[in-house]
Structure 1
Amino acid sequence: MENTQHELRASPLDASPTDVQDGIFADVLQPAVNDGQRQPESPGHFEMRLNQGFFNHSFEDLAALMDTNTPLLDDFDSFLSPSHIIPVIPPPQLTDPEPPLALLSPGIVARPETGETISRLGSRLPSLQPQEMTWRAPEPVRTCKLFESISSETRQLFITKMRQFSAVVPKPFEMPSRLALSRYLKAYLNGFHEHLPFLHVPTLSSDACCIELLLAIASVGAQYCLESEKAVQLFETSHAIAKERIQRLDDSTLPLGPKVHDRRGSDFAHSLRRYGSFMEVPGLTLRDSLSESQETLESRVQTAQALLLLMAEATWSNHRRTLRQALAIQSTLASLIRDDVLKAMPAPHDVSWEEWGKYESTKRTKWIVFCFFNLHTIVHNIPSLISSSEMDAMLMPCHSATFRATCEAKWRDSKVEETDTYFKEAFGRLFKEGTPRQDFAPNSTLGNYVLIHALIQHIYLVRQVLHPCDDGSAVILENDITLIELALRNWKSAWKQTPDSSLDSSNPAGPVSFNSTALLRLAYIRLNADIGPGRALHTRDPAQIANAFLEAQIIKRTPGLLRAVLHAAHALSIPIRIGVHVVAQTQTFRWSIQHSLATLECAFLLSKWLEALSSPVGDQPISSSEHRMLKLVRTMLEETDYAVPSILAVESRRGMRLLAANVLRVWASVFNGPTQVWAIVNIIGSSLALCANLVEHG
């Protein structure tokens, strides 16, 4: 928003003329009061009162009303959120004069939130009686939760933090208005955070939040608000500050207090630098680590969190200015995570909720970095920079109820049921017969998400070490397939035992569990079909992606492949059951990128399988199981706009090619909705539509 007048017009308070006359503007539009009785007022007197600024004061009253928890405000609770509340600032005429535009540095412009007339939505209007026209100095900025409504004081705090990095801030850069910041943070919280929950929202405060993390959150939130240009500006500024922060941290020595230095010596300082605040250092307790170095260590963690968000945004967007930076950020982030060491000691039971929140947030950050690197493997067919074996000594994430607790009392109640489990133990169970047993504590939803990513990475690495066959494909040995399928079955059993598991993307516990099921389908496909190199997603060009699909080899029909086809068909049934057009209109803000990636491979697998059926090799006839699957796919398409005409035999070459093309068209319809947050979803939809035409007429 460019100015506060715009902010006022965007307000959800849309009063009718009657409401205005009877309410907030009554003192202006009605005659003046004299001795307790209203007397007629001449038009000239009324005009004089307007010229004296009474009408402006009424706007200030309106601002005060919106900023206070009056009973009237409760009437709007159903559609008025805290992010719409306009914070209070003192009337300009009662404060020290300030320049209309303050240049903080050659690259940072602080546009004042105040202006003329309507933009002076001042504090609660002082009484119009002269003796009460006084104003008190504003109180110091109080610590507030980051995701609460951003006040003018909080925004100014962010600008002050950014002054420390003015030399590297891209010029010119203007901090978004407080209403825009509130909007972006709210969008991040309702959109991205639910899919990758690593920030401890209840305890993250505005004064303790590094500026690069704040800007990275705002950048992702701006993308969810469909303000892509603003998102790019915030991205570039956050990235520049993050790189500068890392440089300063690397160049500086760790500040240690004299007592700590005298007692532990330089070896302790080296360990603390290496292991971080919550890591496994011999003889070091969590209390020890909460020392003078804590601010430096937390800055390093928050910088890593900022880079994680920026890497995600660069990966899924189609801005050439950010896309090329995704893999570069990956390398920096991997170095930061390794510097903090991939180990974690159990959180002591005597720490405060706030201290535990930092501990769990740091741990989850490392896990989600591991998972996101694995997504890069899926998209770009490149090895992850962090292998699952490096995570063996990491504790699994806590349950969502514990992490989402909004107060210390709820946190302590939910924490009673927590059991510490290391990744090596949880991952090893998946490859053993008869597990998971009932006597094992269930994983958290994020724990299941981590484990399915580890299985996909395992499948990728097993396939990479195999020697290619004559046709260039790499076939996993039957013994390996049997063992990995055992692990996938055990994962499904563990998923079912997790209390928060759900196939509903709007589950109150979050969509992480739903996202994990998409990755399960992808794991079955990767296990039974070598299709990794054939997608060209890195080009972001639908034509190249479609041609890469067509040029990929026809997959071999095996019993194992049919199990993967069944998972692909199940994925197709979800939007058909809900309604293809409904999903196309709503999935943007509810489905994660993982679903888009898994869908792409499901569509590709079904299409290639149908192509294999239409071009049988040798004397291999269509089996009864394949025939049933074929009829199932055709029956599902009859519920859409892409049914195969009944006069066309599905077993014919023409019928199966049309069926393969229409499967791609259904998925293309799902991902060609009117609005997409991330550009890669549109690219996938366009690629599938092009591929469908090529398959049908090829």
Structure 2
Amino acid sequence: MVAGNRYELKLRTEGREGAQPSREEWVEDEGCRRTYYAVYIFFGLLTLTYNHTPAISFNEFDSLELPSSESLWSAEGVDDATWREQLTASAITKFREAHDNLFQGEPARYSAFATRVMINALFLEVWYMKRSPEALQDVVTEYKLRLALETWEKSLALCETETVVIPLSAPHKGHPLIFNAMAMYRNTRARLEVDLKSIQEALRYHDSYEVAAAMTTARDNVKRSQEMIKVIEQCFDCIEVAALQGIRWVARISATNWSVEHPLCGLDLIVILSLWLYRLEHDEEPATDEELAMYKKVRNLFDDDSVDIYGSKLSSIVARLWGSMLDEVVVWGITKLMGESFKLHSQALVGYEDAIASCSGASTPGMSTPSEELDIDSNSGF
């Protein structure tokens, strides 16, 4: 169906021979484009979650325009002349043009939907690089991807202003698609440094023990380096979103109010963060000043009682907290799997004996009674 719509769109566009479409024609064309890009994003999430090969090739979008702003797409109650003026004034660019701008370090202006499309494209570029033996040795490709990601982030300031208000209970005050895109951005930045393919493939079998085992054995993939500090900053941003809003609030609201992108993208980030903290707690090599500063930033999210109760292992606390948050309210089945996996991963990080001791009291550190709850520091807004 999607391929057929794309082909029909191509025929209609060519049939106009350069003439501008009428309003009705544009709405039909835009609907086709939006459907195509929505499927592209969906397949991107399958790749992100299960390491499936992307089903839609990058080259299919060369001549396709990016989605318009929500304001233009949802315009109602305006005459054709006014609508035509709005269309002319809007910044609708083609996919290839926007893609090239990002890789050349030139910030681009496009809609919120287009912002989500472009970070999906960059994520898949990173995925292809990690799966190509030749590209892994190509420092130029990696440099260009870093440049494109930095430019994408700078382009957020140029994003078309939306007049259509969509209510969202989230810390992000802009359009929900930008909120979702930022989750994908953090994940993509992390994947440039850390490849957790084994976890993604374990998720295919829906066995929490297999997923948890893959999480714990991935610690050799998490190095201690200057570049890793930048990744940990992205991981910190991810967990801080929950901390600032309140863990229990996020657990209950995000399941029904936020997109599934947030738990899916957060999986890699929290695994990386927990394993990096584990390395700092157990490596013989002393921590650098930057590593200590980042460790303390994460530590300051938690009160002293929580750290004392759960064995003073910050790595385990982070994993247990995230698992408890994911499976408190289940809408998407995969979040329950991820929640259970994180709890098992938390036990593995503190060791079998410590896990038995901690499990004999409270079941999870954040979602039962106040005395058992893994609190967030009051300075963080909980």
Q: Same fold (TM over 0.5)?
A: yes
Q: Name 1:425's counterpart in structure 2.
A: 97
Pick one of 293, 297, 302 that aligns with 1:628.
293
Distance 2:97 2:120 in 1: 16
Deviation at residue 561 of structure 1 after TM alignment: 1.3
Distance 1:380 1:275 in 2: 26
Q: Name 1:206's counterpart in structure 2.
A: none
Taking structure 2 as the reference length, the TM-score comes to 0.81
Q: Contact conserved, 2:320 with 2:343, CA < 8 A, in 1?
A: yes
Distance 1:284 1:677 in 2: 45
Q: Name 1:405's counterpart in structure 2.
A: 75
Deviation at residue 636 of structure 1 after TM alignment: 1.1
Pick one of 594, 597, 609 that aligns with 2:261.
594
Q: How do 1:497-516 residues align onto structure 2 when only pairs under 5 Å count?
A: 497-500=158-161, 505-506=168-169, 510-516=175-181
> Which structure ranks higher in relative contact order (CA pairs < 8 Å, sequence separation ≥ 6)?
2
Q: Contact conserved, 2:69 with 2:160, CA < 8 A, in 1?
A: no
Q: Contact conserved, 1:373 with 1:384, CA < 8 A, in 2?
A: yes
Residue type at the aligned position of 2:96: K
Q: Contact conserved, 1:580 with 1:669, CA < 8 A, in 2?
A: no
Q: Contact conserved, 2:6 with 2:32, CA < 8 A, in 1?
A: no
Distance 1:376 1:419 in 2: 30
Deviation at residue 581 of structure 1 after TM alignment: 0.7
Pick one of 185, 197, 212 that aligns with 1:532.
197
- CA deviation profile, 1:220-259 (whole Å, cap 9, x unmatched): xxxxxxxxxxxxxxxxxxxxxxxxxx8xxxxxxxxxxxxx
Q: Name 2:346's counterpart in structure 1.
A: 692
Q: Name 1:454's counterpart in structure 2.
A: 121
* Deviant stretches of 4+, over 6 Å: none
Q: How do 1:190-201 residues align onto structure 2 when only pairs under 5 Å count?
A: none
- CA deviation profile, 1:187-208 (whole Å, cap 9, x unmatched): xxxxxxxxxxxxxxxxxxxxxx
- CA deviation profile, 1:367-389 (whole Å, cap 9, x unmatched): 12112111111111122021223
Q: Contact conserved, 1:518 with 1:595, CA < 8 A, in 2?
A: yes
Deviation at residue 509 of structure 1 after TM alignment: 7.1
Q: Name 1:122's counterpart in structure 2.
A: none
Q: Name 1:521's counterpart in structure 2.
A: 186
Q: How many residues align?
A: 342
Q: Name 2:362's counterpart in structure 1.
A: none
Distance 1:616 1:696 in 2: 14
Q: Contact conserved, 1:526 with 1:532, CA < 8 A, in 2?
A: no
Q: Name 2:53's counterpart in structure 1.
A: 383
- CA deviation profile, 1:481-526 (whole Å, cap 9, x unmatched): 3221111110001112114489x94579741110000001100110
Pick one of 478, 481, 500 that aligns with 2:142.
481
Residue type at the aligned position of 1:643: S
Pick one of 662, 667, 689 that aligns with 2:322.
667
SS of 1:279's partner is helix
Work out which of the two has the higher radius of gyration on C-alpha atoms and give 1 or 2: 1
Distance 2:31 2:194 in 1: 37
Deviation at residue 420 of structure 1 after TM alignment: 3.6
Deviation at residue 350 of structure 1 after TM alignment: 4.8
Q: Contact conserved, 1:637 with 1:643, CA < 8 A, in 2?
A: yes
Deviation at residue 634 of structure 1 after TM alignment: 0.4
Say whether 1:544 aligns with 2:210.
yes
Q: Name 1:443's counterpart in structure 2.
A: 110
Gaps spanning 5+ residues in structure 2: where? 353-382
Q: Name 2:34's counterpart in structure 1.
A: 364
- CA deviation profile, 1:284-328 (whole Å, cap 9, x unmatched): 23xxxxxxxxxxxxxxxxxxxxxxxxxxxxxxxxxxxxxxxxxxx
Cα 1:477–1:637 change in 2 (3 A) is farther
Gaps spanning 5+ residues in structure 1: where? 1-245, 247-272, 286-344, 468-473, 649-653
Cα 1:540–1:413 change in 2 (3 A) is farther
Q: Name 1:373's counterpart in structure 2.
A: 43
Overall identity of the aligned pairs, in %: 25
Distance 1:281 1:599 in 2: 41
Q: Contact conserved, 2:9 with 2:29, CA < 8 A, in 1?
A: yes
Q: How do 1:187-586 residues align onto structure 2 when only pairs under 5 Å count?
A: 276-280=7-11, 284-285=15-16, 349-352=20-23, 354-409=24-79, 411-412=83-84, 414-433=86-105, 435-436=106-107, 442-466=109-133, 477-500=138-161, 505-506=168-169, 510-535=175-200, 536-554=202-220, 555-586=222-253
Q: Contact conserved, 2:110 with 2:160, CA < 8 A, in 1?
A: no
Pick one of 632, 644, 664 that aligns with 2:307.
644
Distance 2:234 2:34 in 1: 29
